[in-house]
Amino acid sequence: MKKKIFAVLLILTVAASFVMAGGGSDGSSSGKTVVRFFHRWPQDPRYSYFNDIVAEFEKQNPDIKIEMDSVINDSYKEKIRVLVSSNDIPDVFCTWSDTFAYNLVQSGRIKVLNDMLNADPAFKNSFIQSQIAPFTFDNNTYGLPLTIDGKVFVYNKEIFAKAGITKVPTTYREFINVLDTLKRAGYDTPILEGLSDAWTIAHYLGTIFQRVIPQSVLDKDYAEKTGEFTDPGYKRSLEIFQQLVGYMGPNATSIDHTTTRNLFIAGRQPIMYMQLAEFGYVQADNPNLDYGLFNFPAIEGGAGDPAYLTGAPEGFMMSATSKVPEAAERFYKFLYTKANMEKFVKDVGAPVGVIGAVNTNNAYPKLMEAVEIINNTKAYPWFDNAVNIKIADAFMRGAQSVASGDKSIDQVLSEVQAAARVVRSEAK
């Protein structure tokens, strides 16, 4: 009963946030057409960027009012699901790709973009085509990429040099040797992650699964109708994660990712697992930091392909039930103009999916390197975007409990397998 009451209150709260912002159900306000825009960046620099973009669009389109709302990451995931399920979908909204996007598409309330793209070939061809695929299902495109991204280990070159580390690890055994060397050099937490943010755990686990477990097994398990998660590779993967947590110190589960990133940027943390899209924070706060990067190393005896880079684009979708489809499409395409994407790169410091928007005029060398990596490396989606949310939650929350010592790996796998049985029954 409490869960049902909470769900109703959440639906009412989310819907009310748009109404209070001025967007009535008739799609008009003060004689202007109202387009509702929802994103997940209530903090700078992205918050200020989107404020600027909205202001410029309204200046160029005085007949349209953009009502913008934003909430942060995990709250956004829940709220956008509620809005879609209640058919109170914002006209334009941000989304992750792959399974997260597919789950929204299954509602039948997300706009198919094929006609819009085919009617404007220049716009269609302005995107890195490989970055559109994660938003395309059954030959229908439902979203377009804003940022392109991947996950790498970043390391402080000065700290490595002082510890006598002369080469980056290419195997997991070498990686453990590097961490042991850093501990002997006085760094009690040579690698750190803010494990209070469950999504950070998904990034680790998804990569380790991909390195350890045969792709045929992952394909079967990640599919809702056939997933079982009984392969012994999952236990080995959680053991590897547990081993890495042992190098993160006793506070890893009580701090967040932003805190660990800030420690790295301040030059106090030797290694962290960082998204390429986060390089902008380093550039903004400590542009003189000398750091390098390497992909998650190959795991000895693993059945996966270590050449893959974990990551995926995220972007924007539109409502198929919008009362103002023409105005929404006008704003949607405005978001993706090359000029605006170049401004995004300059203001935010993250790579984008529009061809040529990252260039020597607006990007720093590390960002150019990041784009080169993404364009030349095979991508593997974020784990929490690749599987049903019930499976992802069971792994993420379970691994948090493993990290804190509250649960065993066998207990977590039992919970995951129970969640998989529920997902299979619901998928039939």
Q: Give the model's confidence band at 385: pLDDT under 50 very low, under 70 low, under 90 confident, else very high.
A: confident
- In terms of Cα–Cα distance, which of 31, 52, 47, 38 is closest to 94? 38
pLDDT at 293: 95
- Report the pLDDT averaged over residues 390-408: 96
pLDDT surpasses 80 at 404: yes
Which pTM was predicted? 0.83
Quote the CA–CA distance of 261 and 266 in Å, as a whole number.
Answer: 9
pLDDT at 106: 92
**Is residue 124 exposed (0-12), middle (13-18) or buried (19+ Cβ within 10 Å)?**
middle
Quote the CA–CA distance of 265 and 263 in Å, as a whole number.
Answer: 5
Comparing 69-73, 135-139, 154-158, the range with the smallest average pLDDT is: 69-73
Q: Give the model's confidence band at 428: pLDDT under 50 very low, under 70 low, under 90 confident, else very high.
A: confident
- In terms of Cα–Cα distance, which of 151, 128, 148, 91 is closest to 314? 148
What proportion of the chain, given as a percentage, has pLDDT over 70?
93
pLDDT at 15: 46
pLDDT at 392: 94
Q: Give the model's confidence band at 1: pLDDT under 50 very low, under 70 low, under 90 confident, else very high.
A: very low
Q: What is the pLDDT of residues 234-272, one digit of tens each?
A: 999 999 999 999 999 988 999 999 999 999 999 999 999
Q: What is the pLDDT of residues 333-384, one digit of tens each?
A: 999 999 999 999 999 999 999 999 999 999 999 999 988 888 888 889 999 8
pLDDT surpasses 60 at 23: no
Q: What is the pLDDT of residues 149-195, one digit of tens each?
A: 999 999 999 999 999 999 999 999 999 999 999 999 999 999 999 99
pLDDT at 9: 46
Q: Could you give all domains of the chain from N- to C-terminal order, each with its CATH number?
A: 2-147+313-374 (3.40.190.10), 151-310+388-427 (3.40.190.10)
End-to-end CA gap in the chain: 26
In eight-state DSSP terms, residue 319 is B
What proportion of the chain, given as a percentage, has pLDDT over 90?
84
Q: Give the model's confidence band at 31: pLDDT under 50 very low, under 70 low, under 90 confident, else very high.
A: confident
pLDDT at 182: 98
Q: Give the model's confidence band at 389: pLDDT under 50 very low, under 70 low, under 90 confident, else very high.
A: confident
Q: What is the pLDDT of residues 205-226, one digit of tens each?
A: 999 999 999 999 999 999 999 9
Q: What is the 3-state secondary structure (H, E, C) of 27-58?
A: CEECCEEEEEEEECCCCCCHHHHHHHHHHHHH
- In terms of Cα–Cα distance, which of 77, 377, 103, 76 is closest to 222? 103
pLDDT surpasses 60 at 230: yes
pLDDT at 99: 85
Q: Give the model's confidence band at 4: pLDDT under 50 very low, under 70 low, under 90 confident, else very high.
A: very low
Query: Which residue has better confidence, 35 or 15?
Result: 35
Main-chain dihedrals φ then ψ at residue 37, nearest 5 degrees: -125, 125
Per-residue buried b or exposed e for 63-101, using 16+ beta carbons within 10 Å of the residue's own CB: ebbbbbbbbeeeebbebbbbbbebebbbbbbbbbbbbbb
pLDDT surpasses 80 at 16: no
pLDDT at 13: 47
Q: Give the model's confidence band at 21: pLDDT under 50 very low, under 70 low, under 90 confident, else very high.
A: very low
- Report the pLDDT averaged over residues 29-36: 87
The maximal CA–CA distance of the chain, rounded, in angstroms, is 68
**Tokens read off for 423:** 């997902």
**Tokens read off for 65:** 């009012």
- Report the pLDDT averaged over residues 39-51: 95
